[in-house]
Amino acid sequence: MHGVRGTEHRSARRRPRARTRFARVARHWREYLCIAPFFVLFAVFFAYPIVWAFVLSFQRWDGVTAARWVGFDNYAFVLRDPVTRQVFVNTAIFLLLLVPLGLILPLAFGVILNQPFLRLRGVFRTILFIPVVTSTVVVGIVFRLLFGSANGWLNGLVAQVGLGPYPWLKDASWARVSIVALTTWGRLGFATLIVLGGLQAIDQEIHDAARVDGASAWNVFWRITLPLMRPVMIFLLITSTIGVMTLFSQPYVLTRGGPSNATLTPLLHIYTIGLGGAGGGRIGDASALSFLLSAVMVLVAFVQLWATWGRSAEP
Amino acid sequence: MSGFDRAFSRRRLLGTGAALAGGLTLGRTARSTAARALAAQEQITLQVYIHANNPLDSVKPLYEAKYPNVKLNYLEQSDMAVFRATLAANGEGTPDLLRPETNDVQDLGKTGVLLDVTDLVEKHKADLAPGKLAECFIPATGTYAGFPAEIGAVGLYYREDLWQEAGVSVPADWTWDDYIEAAKTVKGKTGAASFAFPSSGDNQTALLWTFVMFQLGGSITNADGTEVTLDDDKGIAAMEQVKKIYDADVSLDEPPFEETYFQALVAGQVAGAPLPVGYRGFALEPYVKDEQGGLGQWRVALLPRPAEGAVRVASIGGAALVSTTYTKYPQEVKNFMELALGTMEGATACGEWGVVPTFLPYLATDSWRNARSEPYGDFAFNAVWTEAVNQFPDTWYKQPVFAEALNELGAQMMPMMGGEVEIAAGMRTVGDRVRDLNARYQP
């Protein structure tokens, strides 16, 4: 009896709180209405497709006929698929090449553009940013001509000094180099602007004080600028890693994943088997691979955060 | 009798009623006739999902002139991924007409989402090339899911000036081995290549193999797509032939549909290549403008044979015209198919654009036979394509796994070409992999 009374007592306590919460929401209905569009759009265009794709990852569906439940068959297939292994190996190689470049080059360009003596800074910034706003398709055509084997512009250039020709897009290693070049070229401007923003946010007085204390330019950079830039660099590290793991347009326009799948990335493979390129129709397999990729990305991001957060928290 | 009674006597009441009823009936009839006339004149717009610069461009004015109440909106888009997305959305935004490759016709035809055009195809069957008809027939349903469009015949393009310079000529009949020997001579004397064979390890790499395989009567799968056959004796023989070509070092290492190939072509580095008929319209004509590119010197011939008894033509695919069950205008859609692909005027418009129409009576006309094009000088190339159509077999099945099979084969070909993997073993590996993939496409 006591227990029942206790339960009644608890639910009696809960009800007014729920009523209060509802009353609070009702009281602020105009404010909630103002922020509702975001949540509605998020629910329709993000949450619902994600949930639907998760459901599809357990179904066989060609996009036309009724979907059929197949349990974990799609996951089992993509996990034993040699192409899946190949795309993750490719991603690891691109991570090793592109992430360091995505940190070092913007930092170098940012530092150069931040020098007070540099003239025409706006022009240089614009030049660096042009690739960000250039159509990837157009860039892809230009880069294909640039990296062509027989009559490629780059081979023509290196021939002037007695080198080449190099199979830029035909050999696995060279094709990866070409993708790295295109990706780095395309992303450098944006990353440099981020770095530049970080550099300009550092209080100049800290640098001045260090110089008064006799610190060399290198010491100022290494011991003051770089540690203060840590949050920006962590941001770049994580966004660059995610960017590499979701690489699509560069291999799509330049190599279509070739030669022999050496530049095939997870997203390009997902697109090819799910919707286009290879005929499409394996939407279940594509969904399963999407969720495997998401799991890997979350894992990598956690590892990066864990590894860098601890250090940044150090005094 | 009151005045009211007099005014509405029984006779008068009946008369007024009859007049009213008659008036109403006449009015209704007149209204429905007017509505029908209005409906007949209702402006209809058919959404046509088709890329820019295609043979049906010339059919549009013909159709709109014949059916003034129907407008065609060419969307200049042909991405099947986008089209499939409209199907996944239960037909929301699905176009009325599209021109997919035949493996897509087979894939979608099996699902029942494509408009059944059997009645239209049967009506024109006697006039259509049999080899092409098979590509639109869905064995599982026993129906035609599309109206056959152009024939993707492959012939041998070559430059007569470079061949003469090398002292070689094209005989009436020869084998690929003979051609390879001639190509070596041409390369030795002129430096120009006689094949386009990209080592990029993708579906373009597998293209040459598909040509030879087709000539041998082989296929990626059987007719209904339930069995993978690419690694049978014909598939292996085709790959062995391709390896001979690769080993001869007479190929341009560029994909034949990309800028880099055309760059080499205008630079005079291409003496020949087995390529599809469309090359006349969208490759040679826009690019070949001077002597270096071979202006007036280009010729086309039937392909050399890979073996005794093999046909001298191959297929690169070729499209079909289809609609879906979502269209609100099935009759207008069929009218377009019929005009574009089943009549002399439609076939003429397409043929003059540069493809080989499926409509056989057109291939017998002087207009077709006497066509000329600047890169060819006075050479009558269409006689070759007519013969190619006559030899075109109906055993090259493009089932849904077709495109993915070519990707897989292309990715595995270079180790076979380089001798790192023995051809029979390599083909078996590819075959097993494609069998795995093909199982994913089975209902």
How far is CA A262 from its chain centroid? Answer: 20
Both B255 and B360 in one domain: the answer is no
In order of A57, A267, A281, A284, B147, the CA distances from A276 in angstroms are: 18, 12, 8, 14, 23
* List of chain B residues whose C-beta atoms are within 8 Å of the C-beta of residue A63: 84-85, 87-88
Q: Give, in order, the Cα–Cα distances in Å from B77 to each of B54, B99, B349.
A: 11, 10, 21
Indicate if the pLDDT at residue A17 is higher than 90: no
H or E element in which residue B155 lies: strand B153-159
Same domain, residue pair B187 and B263:
yes
Query: Are A151 and B85 inside 8 Å of each other by CB?
Result: no
- Polymer length of chain B: 443
The per-residue pLDDT for A4 is 46
Average pLDDT on A24-42 reads 92
CATH number of the domain residue B239 falls in? 3.40.190.10
- B199 and B293 fall within a common domain: yes
Tokens for B396, please give them. Answer: 């090259």
Cα distance between residue B88 and residue B92, in whole Å:
8
Q: Encoding tokens for residue B212?
A: 């030879």
Q: Is residue A312's pLDDT more than 60?
A: no
Give the closest residue to B204 by CA, choosing from A90, A180, A88, A170.
Answer: A170
Q: Are B230 and B410 in contact (CB under 8 A)?
A: no
> Are residues B200 and B90 part of one domain?
no
List all residues of chain B from 414 to 443 with a beta carbon under 8 Å from chain A. 414-415, 433, 436, 440-441, 443
User: At residue B224, what are phi and psi to the nearest 5 degrees?
Assistant: -100, 10
Residues B358 and B391 occupy one common structural domain: no
Same domain, B178 and B194: yes
Q: Is residue B30 part of a domain?
A: no
Whether B404 sits inside 8 A of A273 (CB atoms) is: yes
C-alpha span between B147 and A96 (Å, rounded): 51
The verdict on residue B6 lying in a domain is no
Q: What is the mean pLDDT of residues A270-281?
A: 75
**Nearest-CA distance from A87 to chain B in Å?**
13
How many angstroms separate the CA atoms of A56 and B371, rounded?
53
| Predicted local distance difference test score (pLDDT) of residue B35 | 53
With contacts defined as CB-CB under 8 Å, which chain B residues touch A149? 253-254, 260
Mutation choice for A interface testing from B437, B441, B442 by most A CBs within 10 A: B437
How far is B219 from B231, CA to CA, in rounded Å? Answer: 9
Quick one: which of B113, B173, B133 has its CA closest to B396?
B133
Q: Report d(CA B431, CA B408) in Å as an integer.
A: 9
Ranking A170-184, A194-208, A301-315 by mean pLDDT, the lowest is: A301-315
State pLDDT tens for residues B42-98: 899 999 999 988 889 999 999 999 999 999 999 998 888 888 888 888 888 899 999
Q: For position A183, what pLDDT does the model report?
A: 94
Q: What pLDDT does residue A2 have?
A: 46
Domain shared by B186 and B307, yes or no: yes
Q: Across-strand partners of A175?
A: none
DSSP structural state of residue B363: H
pLDDT in tens, B6-39: 444 555 555 555 555 555 555 555 555 555 555 5
- A81 interaction partners in chain B (CB closer than 8 Å): 436
Chain A residue with minimum CA distance to B324: A64
**More confident site: A58 or A255:** A58
Flag if B84 and A278 touch (Cβ within 8 Å).
no
Q: Do A279 and B104 touch (CB under 8 A)?
A: yes
- pLDDT band at residue A14 using 50, 70 and 90 as cut-offs: low
Distance in angstroms (rounded) separating the CA atoms of residues A160 and A156: 7
Tell me how crowded residue B124 is: count the other CB atoms within 10 A of its CB: 19
Chain A environment of B111 (Cβ under 8 Å)? 62, 64-65
**Mind listing the pLDDT tens digit of every residue in chain B (443 residues)?**
444 444 445 555 555 555 555 555 555 555 555 555 555 568 999 999 999 888 899 999 999 999 999 999 999 988 888 888 888 888 888 999 999 988 889 889 988 999 999 999 999 999 999 888 988 999 889 999 999 998 999 999 999 999 999 999 999 999 999 999 999 999 999 999 999 999 888 899 999 999 999 999 999 999 889 999 999 999 999 999 999 999 999 999 988 888 889 989 999 999 999 999 888 777 888 899 999 999 999 999 999 999 999 999 999 887 899 999 999 999 999 999 999 999 999 999 998 888 899 999 999 999 999 999 999 999 999 999 999 999 998 888 888 899 899 999 999 999 999 999 999 999 999 999 999 999 998 87
Residue B120 lies in a domain: yes
ipTM confidence score: 0.75
Within this chain, do residues B355 and B325 fall inside the same structural domain, yes or no?
yes
A contact test, residue of B200, B412, B421 with most A CBs within 10 A = B200
Q: How many CB atoms lie within 10 A of CB A55?
A: 14
For chain A, the first-to-last Cα distance in angstroms comes to 58
pLDDT digits (tens, 9 = 90+) for A84-110: 999 999 999 999 999 999 999 999 999
Domain membership of residue B120 as a residue range: 44-151+317-369
Contact between A144 and B260 using a beta-carbon 8 Å cutoff:
yes
Task: Tell me whether residue B8 is in a domain.
Answer: no
Q: Which pTM was predicted?
A: 0.81
Tell me, yes or no, whether B179 and B90 share the same domain: no
Domain boundary among B347, B369, B391: B369
For residue A46, give the amino acid letter: F
What lies within 8 Å, CB to CB, of A100 at 6+ separation is none
Q: Say yes or no for a CB contact (<8 Å) between B88 and A64.
A: yes
Q: pLDDT tens across A119-159, in order?
A: 888 898 889 889 988 887 788 888 888 988 777 889 889 88
B269 and B356 both lie in a single domain: no
Instruction: State residue A149's pLDDT score.
Output: 75
Q: Can you give the pLDDT at residue B2? A: 43
Alpha helices in B216-256 (DSSP H): 233-247
> H or E element: which one contains A306?
helix A283-313
Domain count, chain B: 2
SS3 of chain A: helix, strand, coil, percent, to 5: 75, 0, 25
Same domain flag for B289 and B330: no
pLDDT of residue B397: 85
DSSP per residue, A156-197: HHHHTTT-----TTTSHHHHHHHHHHHHHHHHHHHHHHHHHH
Give the residue among A173, A174, A184 at the shortest CA–CA distance from A103.
Answer: A184
- Interchain CB contacts (distance < 8 Å): A and B: 116
A150/B253 touch (CB, cutoff 8 Å), yes or no: yes
Do residues B348 and B437 both lie within one domain? no
- Which one of B111, B253, B414 has the shortest CB-CB distance to A65? B111
Structural contact between residues A77 and B440, judged by C-beta atoms closer than 8 angstroms:
yes
Judge whether residue A54 has pLDDT over 80: yes
Per-residue confidence (pLDDT) for residue B6, from 0 to 100: 45
